[in-house]
Amino acid sequence: MSHFYRLFWVLLLIPLVTFAFNSSRFGSRGFLHVQSASTLYKGTLDVETNLNFYTKVGDYLGQQKPENFAAVNWWDVQFNSVFSYGVLDNMDITLMWRLYQDANRPGKDDRKDIENVPEDLFLDIKTGSWGLSNNRFHLGLLVSGRIPTANYYNYFFEPYSAGGVEYGFTGLVSFFNDPYLHDRSYSVHLNLGYYNHNDAGKVLYESADRVYKASGNASELQYGLAFSYPTDLFQLNLEFWGINFISEPDTMAYSRENFMYLTPMVRFTPRPWFNFYLGLDVRLSSDENTSSTLLPSPSNNLDLPNYPAWKLHLGLEFRILPKGGRYGAEKPGQTKVDFYESLLKDTQKSEKIEEELRRLRKEREQAEKELEELRQMLEEEK
């Protein structure tokens, strides 16, 4: 089956699997690659599906093509499903299952369409919504893990992974221009984290006479900055994100270079409990290859990048719980009602205090007038 028909069927099946699965590497309150420091409210369940893909014709790199050369259309397709559940008002858990991932490596009969079906499980635990400065700032912490279940690892077009049990920690900071209703005005979100691939001893590549294994654990610094501007039906987002390796993967790894991307995204919410989005990753970092020449790669003789120059994202998201609920409904709404009631009570108290102060000022002024009259009477008697 060609990649075109695979892509067609995946697009066709998205609405059918959405209620069973959820997508996107980042669930909870987040964007495509950057996380908000806010969490889902207790008892909230969101499900989402996400499809992203990149394609390019692998033309020959050079002036003299071999006589038997034929250009090939290379694909990098990924399909994800995710559940995000609010355990507490300040904690949620996201489980992602990567159902499909092109491995882009030689298989039987030298085919280049080997895939992982499914690939790995991803688990994120986030604590957040810790407000500062009258709830204008939120702070949070994300603990991430990757559980290997795939058949293939260390392939190009995708960030590095060698099949280890990976883990990471990310600090989250969010600024909301409207401290009372966060979705009513723009917001800014900053992420900075550490990630360890735990890949020491994992097989990177096997040749006919040798097995190459990772000599140490690769680790990286992950960063992200997002700007979000909401309207009644649309949410406009812009993300800047990337990684810098602290300990680089071995030279027998395909993806061992730092990368940096810019991602514009638009989210459309036709119903309070449903939205879908479209995003595009645009690579800002240069295209370089620092892998060993012993590692066979199509980027050595074909006009192909290590990391995609672009990647398109399509996704659907539903709010399943509370039943018939909407984004920000029930518990969030009650919380805001309670907040405004307390604010109203405080305002009423302030008004009563000001009224009492005005009464005291009048009494003081009257007492001063009476004292002045007594002084004048005494002076006249003298």
Q: 272 CB contacts (<8 Å, ≥6 apart)? A: 319, 326, 327, 329
**Hunting for tokens 């300990």 — which residue is that?**
247
- Do 323 and 357 lie in a common domain? no
Q: Which of 285, 309, 329 is the last residue of a domain?
A: 329
Position of tokens 């638009």?
A: 266
The CATH number covering residue 262 comes to 2.40.160.40
CA distances from 142 to 27, 116, 237 (A): 11, 27, 21
Is there a single domain that holds both residue 353 and residue 220? Answer: no
Do 249 and 306 belong together in one domain?
Answer: yes
Return d(Cα 200, Cα 134) in angstroms, integer: 46
Is the domain of 254 the same as that of 313? yes
Question: Which residue, among 316, 287, 313, 281, has the nearest Cα to 299 in the 3D structure?
Answer: 287
Range of the domain at 338: 330-382
Same domain (yes/no): 42, 12: yes
Same structural domain, 344 and 316: no
* Per-residue confidence in pLDDT tens, the chain, 382 aa: 455 444 444 444 433 333 333 333 446 778 999 999 999 999 999 999 999 999 988 776 666 666 666 677 888 999 999 999 999 989 999 999 999 999 887 544 455 568 899 999 999 999 999 999 888 999 999 999 999 999 999 988 999 999 999 999 999 999 999 888 888 899 999 999 999 999 999 999 888 888 999 999 999 999 999 999 999 899 999 999 999 999 999 999 999 999 999 999 999 999 888 899 999 999 999 988 899 888 887 777 787 888 999 999 999 999 998 865 555 444 555 566 666 666 677 777 777 778 878 888 888 888 888 788 888 888 777 6
Kind of pairing, strands 187-196 and 166-176?
antiparallel
Looking at the structure of the chain, the number of domains it has is: 2
* Host H or E run for residue 378: helix 331-381
**305 and 190 in one domain?**
yes
Q: What is the DSSP code string of 316-335?
A: EEEEEESTT--TT-SHHHHH
DSSP output for 284-297: -S-----S-TTS--
Specify whether 239 is located in the same domain as 341. no
What are the two backbone dihedrals, phi and then psi, of residue 41, each rounded to the nearest 5 degrees? Answer: -75, 155
pLDDT of residue 334: 56
Measured in degrees and rounded to the nearest 5, phi and psi for residue 209 equal -125, 5
* Domain end among 329, 344, 364: 329
User: Are residues 316 and 339 both part of a single domain?
Assistant: no
Q: What is the pLDDT of residue 329?
A: 40
Residues 186 and 321 in one domain: yes
Q: Are 300 and 254 in contact (CB under 8 A)?
A: no
H-helix or E-strand containing 155? Answer: none
Whole-prediction pTM:
0.78
Cβ-contact 165, 217 below 8 angstroms: no
What pLDDT score does 23 carry? Answer: 32
The verdict on 144 and 217 lying in the same domain is: yes
| Same domain, yes or no: 221 and 369 | no
> What is the CB neighbour count within 10 angstroms for residue 318?
17
